[in-house]
Amino acid sequence: MTNLEKRQVMDLREKGYGYIRISNELGISVNTIKSFCRRSLVSKTDDKHYCRCCGKEVEQTKGRKEKKFCSDSCRMKWWNRNLDKVDRRTYQSKSCPNCGSEFTVYGTFSKKKYCSHSCYIKFRFGGDSHAK
């Protein structure tokens, strides 16, 4: 492929053309276009992703899960900083205001007050006499 052809392929990709359409348009074989596009990391149509820790641009692998961090060390730093928000292992023990039984809520910011939804209903709406 000539440089001009490569440019044209990239232009058409940006316009959203499929491989076959580009192939017809430029008279280049579909396989050539495919392998060129796969090798070429330059794709301006892709959304840019930035590291949540340092803000550096993170290169994404197509078809893979979104990468949120530029490196493992950035991931660790971020998780350590946000541990209280993300750590599901932290839990608190509470006692249910309705039935008095002890139960465990996960996450530091959980607002759960009752052991179960039915206890919540009974406590808020006054048990059987009111609940219908």
Piece of the chain touching Zn ion by CB under 5 A; list 7-15, 29-37, 43-51, 59-67: 43-51
d(CA 123, CA 113): 11
Q: For residue 58, which phi and psi values (nearest 5 degrees)?
A: -110, 120
Pick from 10, 12, 22, 74: which binds Zn ion (CB under 5 A)?
A: 74
Q: Does 115 bind Zn ion (CB under 5 A)?
A: yes
Q: Does 37 bind Zn ion (CB under 5 A)?
A: no
**Residue 12 vs 58, nearer CB to Zn ion:** 58
Q: Does 33 bind Zn ion (CB under 5 A)?
A: no
**Number of Cβ within a 10 Å radius of residue 46:** 11
Q: Does 121 bind Zn ion (CB under 5 A)?
A: no
Pick from 26, 30, 37, 51: which binds Zn ion (CB under 5 A)?
A: 51
Which residue in this structure is represented by tokens 């292992």? 89
Pick from 54, 90, 113, 120: which binds Zn ion (CB under 5 A)?
A: 54
User: At closest approach, how far in Å is the CB of 125 from Zn ion?
Assistant: 14
Nearest to 9 by CA among 22, 18, 20, 21: 22
Residues 75-104 that bind Zn ion (CB under 5 A): 96, 98-99
Per-residue HEC secondary structure of 12-68 comes to HHHCCCCHHHHHHHHCCCHHHHHHHHHHCCCCCCCCCEECCCCCCEECCCCCCCCCC
Q: Which residues are at the interface with Zn ion (CB under 5 A)?
A: 51, 53-54, 56, 70, 74, 96, 98-99, 115, 119
